[in-house]
A and B are shown apart, each in its own frame.
Chain A
Amino acid sequence: MKIELEDVRHVYAAGTTFEVAALRGVSLAVEPGEVLAVVGGTGSGKTTLVRHLNLLLEPTSGRVLVDGEDARVLRRSELRGRIGLVFQSPEEALFAPNVFEDVAFGPRRMGVGEEEVEKRVQDTLQRLGVAHLADRSPFALSGGEKRRVAIAGVLAMHPEVLVLDEPTAGLDPATRGELLDVVCGVRDEGGTVVIVSHDLDEVAEVADRVCVLECGEVRAFGRAADVFYAEPRYAPATVRTAALVARDYPGVGRPVSFRETLAALRGVLGRETT
């Protein structure tokens, strides 16, 4: 599925003294099968942007297209099933008496048969490493566990596009890594992922393309390496290091991920260092 935003503006509280133009003419496309990261400072419009992808928020002006068709003509329930959105701090939305029921809610509402629901719930809980929690109350879980259950609830709907708003904020580094593995897994199976993050180091590990927002406008958009090397303010530690080393040793190239960067720096130091 391809999603396009066409000159999307979004104004909150229009006509009042607190009017905020959160998006000021954003155009971009989410290509099928890619991991697209949305980065930018506090209040730059990231959450507002990703909530437009399934029309949870509607543009004040401009259009959202799904496979070339105006998203407004599609049924909202269908749209929300095909484009699964995991909120910032999703654990606040957990509500069912136990984890199983919570994750089953989405697929059931989509009309999936009970047998299939059961299978999906078990599979997704397994995939997120929380199968052992199925019977527990979602309220009595740790922060990291709640986060995984909330993500499982969206994944169980088998969305074509998975949208994650700061999915790793507040997680311990090991849990964060496991969650990023899940993201890569979804992509490897042909799914599309849009991830909002303020952790550029993690963006460097997962993103194919990066969109930088500043005050509601797209400041940069493109392949991760192109964006990071052009915008040092939004570059992860790997890129910032390599860019500095490249001044004297251009052979270091333009690595982005940790592995690429380590290999490139080793190259500069010669093979004797391991």
Chain B
Amino acid sequence: MGPNGGGKSTLARLSNGLLHADSGRVRVAGLDPAREPYLVRRRVGILFQNPDSGLVAPFVEDDVAFGLENLGAPREEMRERVAEAIRAVGLSGYERREPHTLSGGEKQRVALAGLLAVGPEVLVLDEPTSMLDAAGRREVLERVHALRGNRTVLHLTHHLEEVLDADRVLVLNAGRLVADVAPEWLVSDATLLRENRLVLPTVSRLALGLGLPPAKPRTPEELAAAVGERAERRVGRR
């Protein structure tokens, strides 16, 4: 996480050799991505922030297959994995559409499907939900959570509610790593949040304003329940 211009996307590009560090070392599974980008890119897949920049093929299905083709996957297997990935992002029926005719959110889903089809060891997701509505955002997050345990996910985002389940949160600001903490820690540190232009989710801010612990209720349902309990206790006391 971290403010615009903080260095998140630069970090993502360093991780697979698209950018080279001026000094210092980058190692991915012991490999230097600047020297062996192709070996590294077999293990690290990136979903770029702007979905337009990544879509290259004439049809959606070719685009989703692109990464697999580069890996030399057998035809039959490829076809299955592509179909499965397209289904996973809710775009069945879009196989023969031309990517440039898609809406912003549809393009973002196509790019994600391409990455899911490959299923690399490390997934770097640069704001994968920036163009999605609430339902689409939830679906993508569920996909990401399902990878937990057998894949590494580096999730770059501006939405605090999306990192509440992360193992660790790194905060980058003006090119410096300013925090490496558990999400509960981050949401309860008002100074850290303010200094890094982070804002708590609406539910947390309401909780805080009502004197409830901000990390506790995460959904409107939980917040409403907490308010109800409090109000009842008050009535009971009378």
Contacts and interface: CB of A to CB of B under 8 A. Distances in A.
A168 to B, nearest CB: 9
A177 to B, nearest CB: 7
Contacts of A17: 96
Contacts of A74: none
B165 interface: no
Contacts of A143: 4-5, 9, 49
Contact of B133 (A40, A258, A261): A40
A134 interface: no
Contact of B96 (A18, A258, A261): A18
A257 to B, nearest CB: 10
A40 B150 CA distance: 34
A269 B49 contact: no
Contacts of B5: 142-145
A174 B227 contact: no
A contact residues, range: 35 or more
Contact of A198 (B49, B50, B134, B197): B134
A39 B211 CA distance: 32
Contacts of B205: 258
Interface in B206-233: 206, 209-211, 220-221, 223-225, 227-228, 230-231
Interface string A161-173: 0000010011111
A41 B133 contact: yes
A145 B4 contact: yes
A269 B231 CA distance: 5
A111 B2 CA distance: 41
Contacts of A237: 201-203, 206, 220
Nearest to A147: B4
B71 interface: no
A249 B52 CA distance: 48
B61 interface: no
A242 B52 CA distance: 39
Interface in A70-99: 88-89, 92
A269 B136 contact: no
Nearest to A45: B103
A175 to B, nearest CB: 6
B234 interface: yes
Contacts of B210: 262, 265-266, 269, 273
B27 interface: no
A248 interface: yes
Nearest to B96: A18
B199 A173 contact: yes
B107 to A, nearest CB: 10
Given A40-B133, A172-B158, A269-B230, A238 B202 contact: yes
Interface string B1-42: 011110001000000000000000000000000000000000
B184 interface: no
Given A142-B5, A236-B202, A238-B206, A43 B158 contact: no
Contacts of A47: 103-104
Q: Which of the listed residues A17, A47, A89 has the most CB atoms from chain B within 10 Å of its own CB?
A: A89
B158 A88 contact: no
Nearest to A259: B209
B197 A174 contact: yes
A214 to B, nearest CB: 11
A241 B203 contact: yes
B133 A172 contact: no
B106 A43 contact: yes
Interface in A133-148: 142-145
A145 B98 CA distance: 31
Contacts of A173: 158, 197-199
Contacts of A245: 224, 227-228
Contacts of B224: 240-241, 244-245
A112 interface: no
Contact of B206 (A40, A200, A258): A258
Contacts of B9: 143
Given A18-B97, A42-B103, A262-B206, 8 more contacts: A18-B98, A39-B133, A88-B104, A143-B4, A175-B3, A175-B4, A248-B228, A248-B231
Across the A-B interface, the 6 shortest Cβ-Cβ residue pairs: A142-B5, A144-B4, A42-B105, A244-B224, A174-B197, A173-B199
